Structure 1
Amino acid sequence: MAFRTILSFIVPLVCCSAVLAEEIRLNPSHPDRYTVVEGDTLWDISGKFLKNPGQWPLLWSYNSQIKNPHLIYPGDTVYFSMVNGQPRLSFSPTETAAVSPSSGPCVLNEADIQNGRTSFALSPEGKLQPCIRESATAKAVQLIPAGAIQKFLSLPRVLGENELNQAPYIVDIAGEHLIAGNGDKVYVRAIERPDSLTYAVYREGDILRNPTTQEVLGHEAKYIADLTLQEPGDPATLTITQAKGEIRAGDRVLPIGEEEVMLNYFPVPPEESIKGSIIGVLDGVTQIGRYNVVVIDKGISDGLKTGHELDIYQRGKVASDPYSPVKNDTVQMPDEYAGKLMVFRPFNRVSYALVMQAQRNIHVLDKVQTPE
C-alpha cells in the first residue's frame, strides 16, 4: 500500500509567554513517583499527574532533564515535586546491573556509551576483555496505541456528492465467480492511464449530516478491499491482495495515493471556538468508550487540524416534571462533561477523532467543543 504513516508523536517543547502563563491543573491524587509499565501510553502517564493530560508538554517544558518525553521506556521512573511553587519532574531510566571491572562478562549498554565509560572487565592476566554491546529491545511508550487508529488513517474515506459514483467500477470477476476474494482477478472499467499501482474497493456508506440542520456534510465510502493493478485498459485487470468483505460487480475502485500522515502532535486545543456533535462511530461499535473512533461534524473548513483536542459533553436529557403546576411541563437537564477526543484525520467538513478519555457513557449526538 502506498499510503505511509509516521506515528512518532514528538512532543513540541516550544515555550512562549502565553504557554507559560497557562495554569497547570494537577491531578489531586497524583503520585510522587511512577514507574512506567508495559502497555502505558504518554496519555496514561500524564493523566496520573495532571487533571488535563493535554497539558503534558507544559510540564515537560519546565524540566531540562527530560530531553524528549517520547523516549520513555517501560521500567523508567518519573518523579514529581514542587520547586518554588512550580511543578517539576525528574527522570530515572531503568537501572542496569553494574559489571565488575575484574569479573563476569563485559556488557556495554547505551548509558555506558553516552556517559563515556572508562572501566572495563579484565582477564586474570590483566588483559582487557572483549565487551558485548547491549541495545534496548523495549519500545518507547507511545502517545496512544498505534493500532487504535492505524486502519482508519487511510480507509475509509469521506467523499463529495457523486464522487464515488463517478469512480471506475468492477464490471466482472475472472473465473466466472459471483463473489471475489483474496488472490482473485477482477476487471475494472476505464483505468487506461493509471495514477497508481495500488487501488482500493469501496461501497457506498452512510450520508453524514449536520444533526441540527440535516445539511449533508459528506458521503462515507466503506472500504472493502485492496487491489494491485496488473494491466491497464478498459477493462483493466487488477488482483485482490487483501479483502475485508465480499467483492461484487458494481463495486467502485479508487487509487491509493502516495500520501503521508504525520501524527507528530500532542493534543492541543484549537485556536478557534469549535462547537459540534458526534455524528457517527466507526468499526461497528455501539457503546462508545476510550480509544473508539468517532465522526464529528466539524472539519478543516471549521479550523480543525490533526492533533486538536475537544471536550465531549453528554447531552442533557429532557425530563418531565410531575410536580410543576404547568401541565406536562419538562425540564432540560444540563450537559455533563464526558471525556476528551483527539482529531487525527480531518476532512473538509467532518473529522475522524479518537476518544482519549471517557468518564461516562458517550453517545452519538453528544456535543464536542473547544476546552475551556
Structure 2
Amino acid sequence: MRGVLYGLIGGCLLWAGAANADRVQLQEGHPTEYVVVKGDTLWDISGRFLRSPWRWPEVWNVNPQIDNPHLIYPGDVIYLTWVDGQPRLSLRRGVRKLSPQVRVQQLEQPIPAIPLRDISSFLNENRVVQDDTLITAPYVIGGRNESIIAGAGDRVYARGQRIDEDIDQQSLYRPARQYTHPVTGELLGYELYKVADALVRAEEGDILTLDLTKTREEVRTRDRLLPNDTSRIESVFYPKPGPAIEDALIIDVLGGVAKIGQFDAVALSFGDQEGVEPGHVFAIYKKGEMVKDPVNGEMVKLPDEHAGELMVFKTFERVSYGLVMDATNVISVGDSLHQP
C-alpha cells in the first residue's frame, strides 16, 4: 500500500512539474503595460512580457469590443492582467485625434507580427519549384533585333507551352540554387528569383511573344516563364509549435551571409509535404563539435546546444523559409530544428 501511495505521489509531482514547465513564463521585471510605437512588432512586444514571445496567442485575452485584436496600431496600450491565476495580455485602443483639415497621407498600418522589412526580398520575389516544373517551363530564346539581354519596355521571345494558358501576366525567373537534403541526399527543389514581369502578347506554335513590363535585372536567354506566385505574405501570424520532423535542418542562409544571426532568413529542409505552415515555430540547436578525448584519443561529439528560435514565414512543397527571431549562439547551416 505504501508503494502505491509513493507511486501516486510521484506521479502527481511529475504531472505538476510538466504542468509548470508548460505554463507560460513571464519575463523578470516585466512591465504591467506598454504603449505601442511605430516600428514595434508583436514578437518584440510579447518579448517584453513573456520569456517565450511566440506564445502570445496562448495568453491573448480577446476583447469583444475590438473587431480584430491582432491588428495593433501605434498608440494602443498592451496591458497585463491575471485570469484564474494565469497571465493574460489585453489591448486598449489608443486615442486618435482627428483634425478638420485636408491632408494626404498613407492609411495607418497595423504593426506586423515579425519585422517584414528584413525578409521583403524573399516574400514574393523568390520561389522554390520542383524539377518537373523547371524543366517544362518556357524559356527565353532571344530578343528583338537579335539582342540577348533586355529590360523593361523591350520585347523578348520564349519557347515552350505555358503552364497556365489562362494567365497573360506572368514572370520570368532565373535559377539561383539547388536544394538537397544534407542527410538523405534527396533533391528538395530549385530556388528561383524573379528578374522581370512579362505580358504574353502572342503565341504562335511553341513560340511566345513577351513584352517586359517591369524588370529587376536584365532578362537573358534561358530565363524561365512561370505564372505569378499568387501567395502573399500576411503581416499577422499566429505562432504555434511546429510538428516533429525527422532530420529537420537549416540548409541555407538567404542573403549571402556566412554566419546566421537574429533576423536572418534561412532555408529549411521541409515544407508543405511535412505539414509545415507559416507561423510554425522551431527551436534551433547548434551542432555539437567533435573533440578529441585527451585520455584515449577517441573523437567524441559534444551534445547539441540550444541556439535560438525561428518562425516559418513561407512554405513550398519540400522547402520552407524561416526568420531567426532569437539567437543565443552563432547559428550555422546544418544546425538542427526541433519542437520548441
Q: Which has the larger radius of gyration?
A: 1
User: Counterparts of 1:209 and 1:136 in 2: how far apart (Å)?
Assistant: 43
- 1:280, distance to aligned residue in structure 2 (A): 0.9
Q: Which runs of 5+ in 1 are unaligned?
A: 1-18, 98-106, 109-130
User: Counterparts of 1:276 and 1:27 in 2: how far apart (Å)?
Assistant: 29
Cα pair 2:137 2:161 within 8 Å, conserved: no
Cα pair 1:196 1:257 within 8 Å, conserved: no
Instruction: Pick closer, same or farther for the CA change 1:254–1:35 going to 2, 3 Å.
Output: same
Letter in structure 2 aligned against 1:367? S
Letter in structure 2 aligned against 1:43? W
Q: What is the correspondence of 1:108-257 to structure 2 with a 5 Å cutoff?
A: 138-191=108-161, 194-233=165-204, 234-256=206-228
Residue 305 of structure 2 corresponds to which residue in structure 1?
336
Q: Secondary structure at the match of 1:164?
A: helix
Which range moved further: 205-214 or 258-267?
258-267
- 1:237, distance to aligned residue in structure 2 (A): 1.4
Letter in structure 2 aligned against 1:237? T
Q: What is the correspondence of 1:263-342 to structure 2 with a 5 Å cutoff?
A: 265-273=237-245, 275-321=247-293, 324-327=294-297, 329-342=298-311
Letter in structure 1 aligned against 2:194? Y
Residue 33 of structure 1 corresponds to which residue in structure 2?
33
RMSD: 3.2
Residue 87 of structure 1 corresponds to which residue in structure 2?
87
Cα pair 1:194 1:232 within 8 Å, conserved: no
User: Counterparts of 1:280 and 1:156 in 2: how far apart (Å)?
Assistant: 14
User: Counterparts of 1:133 and 1:189 in 2: how far apart (Å)?
Assistant: 53
Residue 16 of structure 2 corresponds to which residue in structure 1?
none
User: Counterparts of 2:107 and 2:242 in 1: how far apart (Å)?
Assistant: 37
Residue 325 of structure 2 corresponds to which residue in structure 1?
356
Q: What is the correspondence of 1:42-57 to structure 2 with a 5 Å cutoff?
A: 42-57=42-57
Letter in structure 1 aligned against 2:150? A
- 1:268, distance to aligned residue in structure 2 (A): 0.6
User: Counterparts of 1:167 and 1:84 in 2: how far apart (Å)?
Assistant: 58
Deviations 1:290-325 (A, max 9, x none): 33221111122222122211111121211234xx22
- 1:173, distance to aligned residue in structure 2 (A): 0.9
Instruction: Pick closer, same or farther for the CA change 1:183–1:92 going to 2, 3 Å.
Output: same
Which range moved further: 198-207 or 60-69?
60-69
Cα pair 1:274 1:302 within 8 Å, conserved: no
- 1:251, distance to aligned residue in structure 2 (A): 2.1
User: Counterparts of 1:147 and 1:30 in 2: how far apart (Å)?
Assistant: 27
- 1:197, distance to aligned residue in structure 2 (A): 1.3
Letter in structure 1 aligned against 2:252? G
Instruction: Pick closer, same or farther for the CA change 1:60–1:67 going to 2, 3 Å.
Output: farther
Cα pair 1:277 1:296 within 8 Å, conserved: yes
User: Counterparts of 2:335 and 2:170 in 1: how far apart (Å)?
Assistant: 35
User: Counterparts of 1:138 and 1:262 in 2: how far apart (Å)?
Assistant: 16
- 1:275, distance to aligned residue in structure 2 (A): 4.7
Structure 1 runs, 4 residues or longer, greater than 6 Å off: 62-67, 131-136
Residue 8 of structure 2 corresponds to which residue in structure 1?
none
Q: Aligned pair count?
A: 318
User: Counterparts of 2:106 and 2:217 in 1: how far apart (Å)?
Assistant: 40
Instruction: Pick closer, same or farther for the CA change 1:74–1:28 going to 2, 3 Å.
Output: same
Which range moved further: 145-154 or 22-31?
145-154
Q: Secondary structure at the match of 1:232?
A: strand
Residue 58 of structure 1 corresponds to which residue in structure 2?
58
Instruction: Pick closer, same or farther for the CA change 1:136–1:49 going to 2, 3 Å.
Output: farther
Instruction: Pick closer, same or farther for the CA change 1:67–1:361 going to 2, 3 Å.
Output: farther
Deviations 1:324-343 (A, max 9, x none): 2213x333222222222222
User: Counterparts of 1:32 and 1:278 in 2: how far apart (Å)?
Assistant: 37
User: Counterparts of 1:286 and 1:43 in 2: how far apart (Å)?
Assistant: 25
- Structure with greater helix share of residues: 2
User: Counterparts of 1:62 and 1:96 in 2: how far apart (Å)?
Assistant: 21
Q: Which runs of 5+ in 2 are unaligned?
A: 1-18
- 1:70, distance to aligned residue in structure 2 (A): 2.4
Letter in structure 1 aligned against 2:167? S
TM-score (normalizing by structure 2): 0.81
Cα pair 1:70 1:141 within 8 Å, conserved: no
Cα pair 2:57 2:239 within 8 Å, conserved: no
User: Counterparts of 1:146 and 1:59 in 2: how far apart (Å)?
Assistant: 24
Letter in structure 1 aligned against 2:44? D
User: Counterparts of 1:213 and 1:96 in 2: how far apart (Å)?
Assistant: 56
User: Counterparts of 2:106 and 2:190 in 1: how far apart (Å)?
Assistant: 46
User: Counterparts of 1:24 and 1:284 in 2: how far apart (Å)?
Assistant: 36
Instruction: Pick closer, same or farther for the CA change 1:139–1:160 going to 2, 3 Å.
Output: closer
